[in-house]
Amino acid sequence: MFMTYHGNDRTLSRFVREIGYQHLTFHGLAKYALSELEIGGASPTLQSLLDCLDGDEWAKVREAGLLPWREDRLESPLLLQHILPNGESYRLPSWADQKDFEAFLRLWIKRCLLELGGWQQDYTDPLRERMIFTVRIFQEDAEFWAQWRDEFDQMMRYFFKDLQRMQPADYGDVAAWAAEKGLPWDQKDLIQAASIIAKLRGQLRPLRFEKYSLDEFTIRPVGCVVPQEYRVDILRAWRRFVRKDLGWREILMDTWRLACLEQVAEGRTAGLFRAGAMADHLENCVPFLESLEGALRQYLEESEGEGELRINPEVAPEGVLPVSCDILVGRRLLRISGERKPDMYMWTEACLTAYLFVACGMCQPIKQIQVLHPFHGLVWSFDEVSLIKAKLLYEWLLRVWDEKNA
């Protein structure tokens, strides 16, 4: 039997989850995004605000002079710096998926900068930490869970005292606990509560051979989390990745697994599935990474005294989902690119990010935006950052989005 999934049809999602995993084969679709709804309601991402514009609206942006600079300008405002040795450049390996490898490089660069800087701060990563340390409430359970959130927290701590054995809690167990607490749950409520507890247990049980605490985890509706069968590998990878006593050469596989979470957040798990075959390939990348390490060391030395180095800073502006950037050094914002060279879209998004960081009190007004292209060892710098233009553009984008989604 073949089933298709398209558009916004959500009924298939519930049906698929009731079928044993071993009886299903998925073809060309995101396995773990079947039941996904956009968490956060109508709140867009910063990229969504830009992507919602059509050609005429982009023309209006140009006419209003709200782009970082005029595209017909004779002299480019960008400064170009080479950080790799002369004549040295690299390209995407033939064995690698472009998005997975670029995510691997971004993650490696950020950790390498902290390592070269003597670990003046712990590594933090809001995106990956949310995915690793969140136990997911599915959308069909969200309303009931929100109503009895504190009770579910108590129930989990009661039934899951032994995190290694993780004994199941059936309908009778839940009914007895609810009666003891005096909860006014009828039969339908008890069935739903038992179902939610079973789903929570299913997500935590793969971790029974790893040491952890329920206090490390958040329980809530969320877009995507780590797939159940990879949870323990990802948790172990994270524990090793944030250890300050391990050099980057010792954690290449851990870095790859964690890098794949960017794709998992979009519902794609192919990178994690292929992770076991990556060890030899990643070892072949060591000469490139060593050369890049030398370039990053020089970059840090040149940036000394410009301000605190912050990795993965994030703000939560009103009206949009959280906005982050790769690196913030004092009043300089650095974005790590992949094979794609920076275009006007990328600079516009970076300027909007700079404005939101300042507006939310993350930093002093941004004076410079840089884009690092690691394959060719190039750094583009833009010094004419106008936060006023970015503010006007951001407010206009919100109005356009509201009009189109009214």
Are 317 and 396 part of one and the same domain? yes
Q: What pLDDT is stored for residue 355 in this prediction?
A: 97
Instruction: State the average pLDDT over residues 248-267.
Output: 92
3-state helix, strand, coil in the chain (%, to 5): 50, 10, 40
Within a domain: 397: yes
- Which candidate, 84, 90, 114, places its Cα nearest to that of 102? 90
Are 400 and 308 part of one and the same domain? yes
Are 147 and 194 part of one and the same domain? yes
Q: What pLDDT is stored for residue 19 in this prediction?
A: 54
Instruction: Report residue 394 as tokens.
Output: 């951001």
What is the Cα–Cα distance from 369 to 345, expressed in whole angstroms? 14
Within a domain: 251: no
* Element (DSSP H or E) covering residue 373: strand 368-373
Residues of the domain holding 158: 138-220
Residue after which a domain boundary falls, among 220, 242, 269: 220
pTM: 0.84
Is 70 exceeded by the pLDDT of residue 15?
Answer: no
What is the Cα–Cα distance from 98 to 102, expressed in whole angstroms? 6
User: What amino acid occupies position 204?
Assistant: L
Contact, 134 vs 218, CB < 8 A?
yes
Within a domain: 295: no
* Residue 8 binned pLDDT confidence (cut-offs 50, 70, 90): very low
* Element (DSSP H or E) covering residue 283: helix 279-284
Instruction: Report residue 278 as tokens.
Output: 């990556």
Is 70 exceeded by the pLDDT of residue 319?
Answer: yes
Domain count, the chain: 3
To 5 degrees, how large is the angle CA 275–CA 281–CA 287? Answer: 130
Within a domain: 238: no
Instruction: State the average pLDDT over residues 315-340.
Output: 91
Quickly count: other Cβ atoms within 10 Å of residue 64's Cβ. Answer: 12
Within a domain: 106: no
* Residue 195 binned pLDDT confidence (cut-offs 50, 70, 90): very high
Is 60 exceeded by the pLDDT of residue 285?
Answer: yes
Within a domain: 7: yes
Are 144 and 194 part of one and the same domain? yes
